[in-house]
């Protein structure tokens, strides 16, 4: 028997992603929210992306672009989330099941 078998069990292994639904065009697609690492909280298309090293050049370029157009991205995002039917549908789908059915469940 090895020493590591005492400490590492399947229960202690934590996944670093959680599956969510997102928009791609007018469709709903499955994506992943990173729950740990340098991309914690970010939504990515593939689960493997959460552990990849960050591209520093792309990071700097995006920061420059966001500085040039300060509130334009936020305004457009809010408008889309209010009016686009796909976005409104996703808002309902992505609620965790425990929250979604909280009022309907009864304990016996």
For the chain, which residues make up each domain, given as ranges?
13-98
Tokens of residue 82, six digits? 């209010």
User: Across 44-48, 99-103, 104-108, which has the greatest mean pLDDT?
Assistant: 44-48
Residue 36 confidence (pLDDT) above 70:
yes
What's the whole-model pTM score? 0.63
Q: Which residues contact 23 (CB under 8 A, 6 or more apart)?
A: 29, 84, 86, 87, 90
Q: What is the pLDDT of residues 13-30, one digit of tens each?
A: 457 889 999 888 778 899
pLDDT on residue 16:
82
pLDDT confidence bin for 12, thresholds 50/70/90: very low
């Amino acid at each position: 028997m090895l020493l590591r078998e005492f400490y590492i069990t399947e229960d202690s292994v934590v996944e670093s992603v959680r599956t969510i639904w997102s928009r791609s065009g007018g469709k709903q697609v499955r994506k992943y929210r990173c729950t740990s690492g340098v991309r914690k909280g970010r939504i990515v298309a593939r689960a493997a992306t959460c552990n990849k090293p960050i591209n520093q050049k792309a990071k700097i370029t995006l920061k420059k672009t966001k500085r040039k157009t300060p509130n334009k991205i936020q305004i457009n995002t809010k408008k889309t989330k209010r009016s686009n039917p796909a976005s409104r549908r996703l808002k309902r789908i992505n609620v965790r099941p425990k929250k979604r059915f909280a009022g309907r469940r009864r304990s016996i």
